[in-house]
Amino acid sequence: MKDDLFFNLDHGYAEGLCRGFKSGILKPADYHNLVQCETLEDLRLHLQSTDYGNFLANDASPLTVNVIDDRLREKLVQEFQHLRNISYEPLSTFLDYITYAYMIDNIVLLITGTLHQRAVGDLLPRCHPLGSFEQLGAITIADTPAQLYNAVLVDTPLANYFIDCISEHDLDELNVEIIRSTLHKAYLEDFHKFCKQLGGVTAEVMCEILAFEADRRAFMITINSFDTGLTQDERFKLYPRCGSLNPDGLQELRRTDNYEAVKDVAARYPIYRALFEGAGTSTGEKTIEDKFFEREVELNRNAFLRQFHFGIFYAYLKLKEQESRNIIWIAECIAQKHRARIDNYIPIFH
């Protein structure tokens, strides 16, 4: 009851604003128009009549897909920053938690770039703005994870996630991916704990979404690691424990070594069985990643059906990102004049 009665005191305006942003997400009619565009200029014209407005107005033709990608991301970041600026506790902490995922991606991007001898000045513009923090530029000076932690990350909010990855090995390609997965695992479990502690409707909505994220990561890590040198035990350490696969499913996944075995493990969970059955590895069918995206969109859409909780902010960000991916997919198909699979975007609203 405390949820319902006093939620609007601190967070009512942010919720109203977020729902307003959500109503600007493109509808099927908009996608229908976009799919029929012949050039990127047509795309710009059609996007003008949507909530995006004149966001591409300052870019000279010829437009490229990269420019559209940058502008879409800018708009998203602007809206999210505005929500973050007007929010009160505990919504502010919640929104900060959402940005930690982008921080992790930025750190890994910088480390990988440094390994390939790129200059810091080239890499920093490619970082995601939502995941920027003060010490970001200093990451490139570190050689080993231990140095990275002691010099740079100990003052950031990500410090706690680094406990499992500190080692004296040098940072190289495989290690960096393992670091990314370990950080993300710690982040997901921490976020899940935070949402559970918030309680009420937020916990109900967010814990379901985060449990699905954890399971999805477990499946994808397993499937993507089949031909690499990752051992089963190392793989097991990367699975987040906050999903519904924990503990039996994760033990079974650890022992699989091909796609069919993973499908068998998924068959014991009704939702995942349905997802795996709809997917296939041949070219005409949807991949399991597409099915996971669809399920994520469904869960995020359902978050808006309830009022007085923080899940809508997370759901709005994820849906807007999915929309950006859709628009970029359509733009790429148009730019490369390869329109056969232009309808393979994931519809958000019906």
Partner 1 sequence: MNTSYLSKGALGAGVGLFIYAGLTYMLTNNGFRFDIGWFLLSISPYQWALIGIALAVSLSVLGAALGIFATGVSILGGGVKAPRIRTKNLISIIMCEAVAIYGLIMGIVISGSITSFMTTKPEELALKYRAGYKLFGAGLTVGLCNLFCGVCVGLVGSGAALADAQNSSLFVRILIIEIFASAIGLFGLIVSILQSNGTSLSD
Give me the residues that bind partner 1 (CB under 8 A), please: 4-5, 8-9, 12-21, 23-24, 307
Residue (51 or 264) nearer to partner 1, CB: 51
Residue (24 or 137) nearer to partner 1, CB: 24
Residue (77 or 274) nearer to partner 1, CB: 77
Closest CA to 229 of 174, 167, 180, 173: 174
- Closest approach, Cβ 143 to partner 1, in A, equals 42
Whole-angstrom distance, CA of residue 211 vs CA of residue 246: 10
Residue (21 or 187) nearer to partner 1, CB: 21
- Closest approach, Cβ 221 to partner 1, in A, equals 37
Work out the widest C-alpha separation in the chain, in whole angstroms: 56
Q: Count other Cβ atoms within 10 Å, centred on residue 158.
A: 21
- Closest approach, Cβ 7 to partner 1, in A, equals 8
- Closest approach, Cβ 102 to partner 1, in A, equals 25
Residue 115: partners with Cβ closer than 8 Å, 6 or more residues away: 171, 172, 173, 176
> Buried b / exposed e across 117-133, counting CB within 10 Å, b at 16+?
eeeeeebbeebebbbeb
Whole-angstrom distance, CA of residue 221 vs CA of residue 325: 22
**CB 112, CB 176: distance < 8 Å:** yes
E strands within the chain?
Answer: none
Residue (5 or 340) nearer to partner 1, CB: 5
Residue (200 or 280) nearer to partner 1, CB: 200
Closest CA to 221 of 300, 321, 288: 288
> Phi and psi for 316 in degrees, rounded to 5?
-60, -45
- Closest approach, Cβ 17 to partner 1, in A, equals 5
- Closest approach, Cβ 326 to partner 1, in A, equals 21
**CB 104, CB 133: distance < 8 Å:** no
